[in-house]
């Protein structure tokens, strides 16, 4: 069923990927890669690995493994409007209804046989303990081998070497359970692709920071969290370059886009995954554009192809959800300054300790530099809990409030 769905999605997107001007639409290219990944996961042509968010996907790609973090499946179920039924299945099996719906949807999908069976699983201790629990449950469910990467909180002491050694061991673990060897040339090629992707992303984000921003609210939705799934491949390079080139074109034509940007917003953590009109409402009725998401940033240095494991380790440690909350708040403040943000929206996904636990500190940290924060209380996956009127009132009142404030950057 899923393979057919992704196959049809791929066909549809391929025919629509170029506009009447013949140029590639980067958002459609992004969706195409998502469809292709979904299709590969379901095809059975290569071993599948279910992973935590900070797994080294470029290493797995170089070894011929199709891999994904499990929350990707939760988000896909939400987008297609079927997450609710799987969440119910998980709840009936005893998962707490106060838990994260990304993981509950995945557990329900696994127990109903919808998830492709993995060859092995790679958990990670960061950023999300709920995610690690879900991976452990899946390993038990499928009776497949699990390895866990213990991600240090920062780069101090021997932390990089410690994680790099674990990633080396991971390569051996993959070989042991799939028979696929680590080929140094293929790994080098993957790392070079990752570095090319990174360079294009840096240019793309620099363009997105311009006033007015060439980015619309939908352009980079989920981009920073999903792109790592494609790292190491030519497709990731092509995708980042497509966005960079499109943004450059829009910047060159900025007079036509200037009118639509009264307020520049930052989205904290992940977007609401099911279909709703929040971004459209903000953009069309209030000219309030989400120009940056928390995870849309390059926080890691280019990886040395001669020392790939150390570079991959540094990247895993660098993600803003890792380490202390102080570090996360500093990163959000940096983004707010770089993008000249007028206000931030935090969905505070139900059941997420990062989303809800950090709420007060994030709000205080951003208000300290003059950026107000709208805290919503939304289950980002389960649309049955979404009360449109309530959310709309909060969002509209927030924008009305912004009208009464002066910009923190004037």
Partner 1 sequence: MFYLGIDIGSLSCDAVLIDEDARALAGAVVPTGARNRDAIRRATDEVLRAAGVSRDQVAAVVSTGYGRDRVDERLAAVTEITCHARGIRALYPATRILIDIGGQDSKCMLLTNEGKIVNFAMNDKCAAGTGRFLEAMARALQVDIDEMSGLDAGAAGTVTISSMCTVFAESEVVSLIAEGAAVNEIVRGLNRAIAARTVSLLKRIAPRHAELPVAMSGGVARNSGVVHALGESLGCQLLVPDSPDTVGALGAALIARERAHLSQPAPTSSR
Minimal distance in Å, beta carbon 336 to partner 1?
17
Name the residue nearer to partner 1 (CB basis): 45 or 97. 97
Name the residue nearer to partner 1 (CB basis): 93 or 397. 397
Residues 220, 207: Cα–Cα separation, whole Å: 13
Phi-psi sector, 287: left (phi>0), alpha (psi -120 to 50), beta: left
Minimal distance in Å, beta carbon 124 to partner 1?
30
Minimal distance in Å, beta carbon 87 to partner 1?
17
Chain centre to alpha carbon of residue 356: 18
Q: Are 388 and 276 in contact (CB under 8 A)?
A: yes
Q: Which residues contact 228 (CB under 8 A, 6 or more apart)?
A: 53, 57
Name the residue nearer to partner 1 (CB basis): 245 or 396. 396
Name the residue nearer to partner 1 (CB basis): 187 or 272. 272
Name the residue nearer to partner 1 (CB basis): 285 or 326. 285
Token pair in block for residue 268: 């904290």
Minimal distance in Å, beta carbon 264 to partner 1?
19
Chain centre to alpha carbon of residue 222: 5
Residues 236, 219: Cα–Cα separation, whole Å: 16
Name the residue nearer to partner 1 (CB basis): 235 or 374. 374
Minimal distance in Å, beta carbon 281 to partner 1?
12
Minimal distance in Å, beta carbon 304 to partner 1?
47
- How far apart, in Å, do the first and last CA atoms of the chain sit? 54
Count the neighbouring beta carbons within 10 Å of the beta carbon of residue 360: 11
Phi, psi of 51 (to 5 degrees): -135, 170
Cross-strand pairs, 401: none
Q: Are 77 and 54 in contact (CB under 8 A)?
A: no
Name the residue nearer to partner 1 (CB basis): 23 or 401. 401
Residue 163: closest CA among 48, 303, 53, 54:
54
Angle between helices 308-318 and 184-208 (to 10 degrees): 40
Minimal distance in Å, beta carbon 78 to partner 1?
19
Name the residue nearer to partner 1 (CB basis): 168 or 394. 394
Determine the length of the chain.
410
Residues 391, 404: Cα–Cα separation, whole Å: 20
Name the residue nearer to partner 1 (CB basis): 49 or 348. 348
Residues 192, 354: Cα–Cα separation, whole Å: 32
The DSSP output letter for 120 is E
Determine if the peptide bond prior to 34 is cis (ω within 30°).
no
Applying CB under 8 A, which residues contact partner 1? 372, 375, 377, 389-390, 393-394, 396-397, 400-401, 404-405
Minimal distance in Å, beta carbon 401 to partner 1?
5
Name the residue nearer to partner 1 (CB basis): 249 or 405. 405
Minimal distance in Å, beta carbon 341 to partner 1?
17
Minimal distance in Å, beta carbon 181 to partner 1?
52
């Amino acid at each position: 069923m899923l393979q057919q769905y992704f196959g049809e999605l791929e066909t549809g997107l391929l025919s629509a990927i170029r506009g009447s001007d013949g140029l590639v639409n980067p958002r459609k290219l992004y969706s195409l890669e998502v469809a292709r990944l979904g299709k590969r996961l379901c095809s059975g042509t290569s071993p599948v690995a279910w992973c935590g968010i900070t797994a080294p996907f470029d290493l797995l790609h170089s070894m011929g493994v199709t891999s994904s973090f499990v929350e990707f499946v939760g988000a896909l179920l939400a987008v297609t409007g079927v997450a609710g039924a799987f969440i119910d299945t998980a709840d009936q099996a005893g998962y707490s209804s106060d838990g994260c719906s990304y993981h509950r949807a995945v557990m329900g999908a696994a127990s109903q046989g919808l998830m492709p069976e993995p060859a092995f699983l790679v958990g990670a201790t960061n950023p999300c303990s709920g995610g690690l629990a879900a991976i452990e449950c899946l390993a038990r469910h499928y009776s497949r081998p699990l390895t866990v990467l213990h991600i240090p909180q920062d780069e101090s002491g021997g932390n990089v070497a410690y994680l790099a050694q674990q990633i080396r061991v991971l390569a051996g673990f993959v070989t042991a359970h799939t028979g696929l060897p680590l080929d140094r040339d293929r790994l080098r090629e993957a790392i070079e692709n990752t570095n090319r992707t990174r360079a294009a992303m840096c240019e793309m984000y620099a363009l997105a920071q311009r006033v007015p921003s060439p980015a619309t609210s939908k352009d980079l939705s989920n981009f920073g969290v999903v792109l790592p799934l494609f790292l190491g491949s030519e497709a990731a390079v092509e995708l980042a370059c497509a966005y960079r080139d499109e943004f450059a074109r829009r910047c060159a034509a900025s007079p036509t886009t200037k009118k639509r940007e009264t307020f520049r917003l930052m989205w904290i953590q992940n977007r609401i995954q099911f279909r709703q009109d929040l971004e459209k409402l903000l953009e069309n009725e209030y000219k309030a554009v989400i120009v940056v998401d928390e995870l849309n940033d390059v926080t890691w240095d280019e990886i040395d192809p001669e020392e790939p494991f150390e570079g991959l380790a540094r990247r895993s440690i660098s993600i803003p959800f890792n380490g202390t909350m102080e570090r996360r708040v500093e990163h959000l403040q940096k983004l707010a300054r770089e993008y000249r943000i007028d206000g931030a929206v935090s969905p505070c996904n139900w059941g997420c300790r990062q989303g809800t636990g950090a709420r007060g500190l994030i709000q205080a940290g951003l208000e300290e530099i003059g950026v107000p924060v709208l805290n919503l209380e939304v289950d980002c996956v389960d649309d049955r809990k979404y009360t449109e009127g309530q959310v709309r009132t909060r969002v509209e009142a927030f924008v009305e409030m912004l009208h009464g404030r002066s910009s923190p950057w004037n």
